[in-house]
Amino acid sequence: MNSQNQKNQMNRRRFLQTSTKLAAAGIYLGVFGMPELFGNVVMDKSKVSIPDVKLNNGLKMPILGFGTYGLRGEICQQSVVEAISAGYRLIDTAKVYGNEEEVGKAIKQSGIDRKQLFVTSKLWVDDAGYENAKKGFEETLRKLDLEYLDLYLIHRPRGDVKGSWKAMEELYKAGKIKAIGISNFDPAQLADLLSYAKVKPVINQIETHAYFQQTNDYNVLKKDNIQMQAWAPFAEGRNGLFTNETLTQIAKKYNKTTAQISLRWHYQRGIVSIPRSSQKTHIIENLDIFNFKLDDADMKAIEKLDLNKTQFPEWS
Ligand SMILES: NC(=O)c1ccc[n+]([C@@H]2O[C@H](COP(=O)([O-])OP(=O)(O)OC[C@H]3O[C@@H](n4cnc5c(N)ncnc54)[C@H](OP(=O)(O)O)[C@@H]3O)[C@@H](O)[C@H]2O)c1
């Protein structure tokens, strides 16, 4: 090959590399799109990964994470290892799930730098109150075998919430927890907590899915600058969510699954979701939601699925 040919080859290679990068950037900004801002979504343009939300204390948190309710023993450990290896960085556990030790072991086994993970656990009802909350937190940290938690939530608004919150504020100020929040608080319970809280909760984790869209809570939390997080983002598949006709039709349109349509819908509402799965294929599938965008008609069609009713009456 003469030198002119070589130069042409190099220019062509450079052109292809540059145009691929530009196309990727275009796809990123155009197709991936920004969700409707709930908190402050931060996109890292250098790579396609799970976008972060910025919480009201400045901490960044992935908008999609991995739930662990009902996962126990080896299945739990293995699922969390799979999830971290697939790319999840946010792991959601709780004392009452009885799996904090396995989650901790999975974190060690994953070999990933602790600082790259966002670990959430929750204070159970039995540990409510100032002294008990401090003990409950220490037990959680010991079981997880971690030095600190990224997020600690009051699991349910029961017992001495004021005492629990005071203990959590102190642990937060001591740097043992990077952010503190609540779960299953309705707007009145939130308003009560805000009346005495010195540290505002960063998040409220509540049941949210297509059948229970929590529009009122959504608006209240948005106004208060508290991030909404969806538990049971698939309603655990109850009431036929995975085979729902509307979701199935939308899924066909984008060559996606109803699970992915559900998660994309949460994402476009700016809600952090934490789907759980014990199957590697589902774990991977549930991450693949950042390369398409639901249009307004899709969002409106899903909005119409709202039954405005919990699908978990046994927990009320
Ligand atoms: N704060 C609270 O009070 C509270 C309450 C409940 C839950 N949570 C948290 O929220 C997390 C999520 O909620 P959840 O676990 O109750 O329910 P979920 O995530 O709505 O649903 C989990 C179910 O969906 C199935 N699934 C997952 N991905 C799928 C896919 N791509 N296709 C088909 N099926 C799929 C799973 O089965 P496979 O294993 O077969 O995939 C599992 O049966 C919990 O794990 C927990 O961390 C918090």
HEC readout, 164-202: HHHHHHHHHHCCCEEEEEEECCCHHHHHHHHHHCCCCCC
205 CA: nearest ligand 1 atom: 1
CATH number of the domain within which 214 lies: 3.20.20.100
231 CA: nearest ligand 1 atom: 10
Q: Are residues 10 and 54 in the same domain?
A: no
283 CA: nearest ligand 1 atom: 28
In this structure, which residue's CA is closest to atom 7 in ligand 1?
A: 231
Q: Are residues 19 and 133 in the same domain?
A: no
Domain that holds residue 98: 37-315
Which strand ranges, in their side-by-side order, compose the sheet holding 40-42?
40-42, 52-54, 60-62
Q: Are residues 67 and 49 in the same domain?
A: yes
Question: First-to-last CA distance in the chain?
Answer: 76
Count of alpha carbons within 13 angstroms of residue 166, beta-carbon side:
10
- pLDDT of the chain, 316 residues: tens digit per residue: 444 444 444 444 443 343 333 333 333 333 445 565 555 555 444 344 899 999 999 999 999 999 999 999 999 999 999 999 999 999 999 999 999 999 999 999 999 999 999 999 999 999 999 999 999 999 999 999 999 999 999 999 999 999 999 999 999 999 999 999 999 999 999 999 999 999 999 999 999 999 999 999 999 999 999 999 999 999 999 999 999 999 999 999 999 999 999 999 999 999 999 999 999 999 999 999 999 999 999 999 999 999 999 999 999 8
In this structure, which residue's CA is closest to atom 31 in ligand 1?
A: 282
68 CA: nearest ligand 1 atom: 45
- The amino acid at 157: P
Contact by Cβ (8 Å): 269, 221: no
Which of 186, 276, 312, 314 has the most ligand 1 atoms within 8 A of CB, as the residue to mutate?
276
Does the annotation mark 97 as catalytic?
Answer: yes
Q: Are residues 279 and 193 in the same domain?
A: yes
Q: Measured in angstroms, how far is the CA atom of residue 173 from the centroid of ligand 1?
A: 32
Q: Are residues 76 and 58 in the same domain?
A: yes
Q: Are residues 17 and 107 in the same domain?
A: no
User: What span, in angstroms and rounded, lies between the C-alpha atoms of 272 and 27?
Assistant: 23
User: What span, in angstroms and rounded, lies between the C-alpha atoms of 247 and 198?
Assistant: 42
- The amino acid at 277: S
Q: Are residues 43 and 131 in the same domain?
A: yes
pTM listed for this prediction:
0.89
Number of domains in the chain: 2
User: What span, in angstroms and rounded, lies between the C-alpha atoms of 267 and 290?
Assistant: 9
Q: Are residues 18 and 157 in the same domain?
A: no
Q: Are residues 17 and 87 in the same domain?
A: no
- Among 97, 152, 211, 267, which one carries the catalytic annotation? 97
Q: Are residues 23 and 43 in the same domain?
A: no
Which of 64, 66, 69 has the most ligand 1 atoms within 8 A of CB, as the residue to mutate?
69
Q: Write out the DSSP string of the chain.
A: --HHHHHHHHHHHHHHHHHHHHHHHHHIIIII-PPPPSSEEE--TTS--PPEEE-TTS-EEESB-EE-TT--HHHHHHHHHHHHHHT--EEE--GGGT-HHHHHHHHHHHT--GGG-EEEEEE-GGG-SHHHHHHHHHHHHHHHT-S-EEEEEESSS-S-HHHHHHHHHHHHHTTSEEEEEEES--HHHHHHHHHH-SS--SEEEEE-BTTB--HHHHHHHHHHT-EEEEESTTGGGGGGGGG-HHHHHHHHHHT--HHHHHHHHHHHTT-EE----SSHHHHHHTT--SS----HHHHHHHHTT---S-S-GGG-
Q: Which residues contact 249 (CB under 8 A, 6 or more apart)?
A: none
In the annotated binding site for substrate, the residues are 155
Query: Which residue from 230, 203, 193 is spatially nearest to 214, judged by alpha carbons?
Result: 230
Q: Are residues 24 and 66 in the same domain?
A: no
Cβ < 6 A, ligand 1 pocket: 67-69, 92, 155, 183-184, 205, 231-237, 242, 257, 259, 274-279, 282, 285-286
In this structure, which residue's CA is closest to atom 37 in ligand 1?
A: 277
pLDDT at 316: 85
Query: Which residue from 132, 158, 136 is spatially nearest to 149, judged by alpha carbons?
Result: 136
Contact by Cβ (8 Å): 172, 149: no
Contact by Cβ (8 Å): 148, 175: yes
Q: Are residues 60 and 189 in the same domain?
A: yes
Which of 261, 277, 286 has the most ligand 1 atoms within 8 A of CB, as the residue to mutate?
277
